[in-house]
Amino acid sequence: MRLYWTQSTHLPVPRRLYAWWYFTIALGFLLLAINRMLFGEKTWLIVLRLVIAAGFAALGYMELRAHSRTK
């Protein structure tokens, strides 16, 4: 059977994995903020990265919470 670009072999991804994906992105932004803080980058850029990390952490928390409610 030949698949064309319009056909999909999409496998469903458990929603719980999206939560951990958001948490890892948040951790990456947090580590980047710490790294840049150690090298003396501008404060507003560090704060921006921390806000982005907090946003992704909140998304991860909401996704985990939504997953636990559906069970």
pTM over 0.95: no
Q: How far is CA 53 from the centre of its chain?
A: 8
Token pair 């951790």 is found at 27
Q: State which amino acid sits at residue 6.
A: T
User: What average pLDDT does this structure show over 42-48?
Assistant: 97
pLDDT tens track for 28-44: 999 999 999 999 999 99
The predicted pLDDT at position 30 comes to 98
DSSP 6: T
The predicted pLDDT at position 15 comes to 72
